């Protein structure tokens, strides 16, 4: 007999056993038990590789689930968003990634107890998503040196590198690739050599860096930060400053708010979307905001005030 004290919502759980450098699989049985204590109707699925979370999220939409709970990091969340954006199904998250950049826009408390409280008692709010080419995303698009750092991490099996910010930034700056695209940020055209382009919905970029400290993921606008070509030492210092929040300290750093960014390039444009390697192809290389297109569970405002 089903427990009448549990929520009657139908819940689909998508769990990535490889999240957090493979540490999540040890906790998944515990998490499953705790979620089943909260909801009467739970279907639990594990991902087996890239693209699985997209498929499972779409299946949840087709089978009329009320909520999808993702157990994993930014990559798993981003995949699920591709299946959930503009569907009305509510997304909840139990964070198990290395940085959890998107989840930190919900709360900085990464504990399991807090996550369970939010998915069971949280407030449903609408936030923005974006479309880059044909790919939906929920947090950020990165080109330039920030993308180069992600490339180095993806190609390097040494986990200590991800913890050594100084060495990683040095390698990224040393191997920087020149960006000479013509950008159109809404109606503003930019044709200059650039070191960094970051197009954010939320505050945090991959690796926990903050290039857009004033971003609001429900205002219907991208926050864009561009860093013009500069000396390597200055660029290195910019990356270190981005740990606590980059500001437009000089004319080499500029910030914009917009609804669309277009990239004019005859060739394909490699970039990172929500921390995953991707590419924009074809003639229409545009990145657009889709306002209020995703429902998520967030800590109620009253709870935030009480915690303070």
Using CA atoms, how far apart are residues 238 and 282, in angstroms rounded to an integer? 32
pLDDT single digits (tens) 117-150: 999 999 999 999 999 998 999 999 999 999 999 9
| Dihedral sign from CA coordinates of 75, 79, 85, 89 | negative
Length of the chain equals 308
| For residues 242-266, average pLDDT | 92
| For residues 184-197, average pLDDT | 96
Query: What is the pLDDT at residue 306?
Result: 47
Domains of the chain: 7-121 (3.40.50.10330), 136-291 (2.60.200.40)
Q: What percent of the chain has pLDDT over 70?
A: 94
Per-residue burial over 192-210, b if 16 or more Cβ lie within 10 Å, else e, is eebbbbbbbbbbbbbbebb
Query: What is the pLDDT at residue 303?
Result: 53
Per-residue pLDDT band for 308 (boundaries 50, 70, 90) equals very low
- 8 pLDDT exceeds 60? yes
pLDDT single digits (tens) 156-178: 765 667 678 899 999 999 999 88
For residue 201, give both structure tokens: 């919905």
Phi and psi at residue 252, in whole multiples of 5°? -80, -15
pLDDT single digits (tens) 261-284: 999 998 999 999 999 999 999 877
Query: What is the pLDDT at residue 284?
Result: 74
Query: What is the pLDDT at residue 305?
Result: 47
């Amino acid at each position: 007999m089903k427990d009448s004290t549990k929520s009657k919502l139908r819940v689909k759980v998508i769990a990535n056993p490889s999240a957090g450098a493979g540490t999540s699989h040890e906790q998944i049985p515990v998490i499953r038990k705790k979620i089943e204590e909260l909801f009467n109707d739970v279907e639990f699925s594990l991902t087996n590789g890239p693209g699985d979370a997209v498929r499972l999220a779409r299946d949840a939409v087709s089978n009329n689930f009320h909520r999808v709970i993702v157990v994993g990091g930014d990559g798993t969340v981003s995949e699920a968003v591709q299946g959930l954006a503009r569907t009305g199904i509510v997304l909840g998250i139990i964070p198990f990634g290395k940085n959890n950049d998107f989840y930190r826009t919900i709360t900085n408390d990464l504990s399991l107890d807090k996550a369970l409280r939010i998915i069971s008692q949280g407030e449903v709010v609408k936030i923005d998503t974006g479309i880059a080419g044909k790919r939906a995303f929920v947090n950020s698009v990165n080109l330039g040196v920030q993308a180069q750092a992600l490339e180095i991490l993806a190609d390097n099996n040494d986990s200590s590198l991800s913890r050594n910010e100084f060495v990683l930034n040095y390698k990224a700056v040393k191997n920087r690739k020149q960006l000479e695209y013509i950008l159109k940020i809404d109606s503003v055209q930019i044709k200059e050599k650039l070191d960094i382009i970051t197009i954010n919905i939320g505050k945090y970029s991959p690796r926990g860096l903050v290039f857009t400290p004033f971003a609001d993921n429900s205002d219907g606008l991208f926050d864009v930060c561009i860093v013009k070509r500069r000396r390597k030492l200055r660029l290195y210092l910019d990356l270190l400053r981005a740990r606590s929040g980059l500001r437009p300290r000089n004319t080499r750093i500029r910030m914009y708010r917009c609804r669309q960014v277009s990239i004019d390039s005859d060739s394909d444009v490699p970039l990172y979307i929500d921390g995953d390697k991707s590419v924009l192809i074809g003639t229409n290389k545009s990145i657009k905001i889709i306002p209020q297109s995703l429902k998520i569970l967030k800590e109620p405002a009253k709870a935030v005030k009480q915690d303070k």
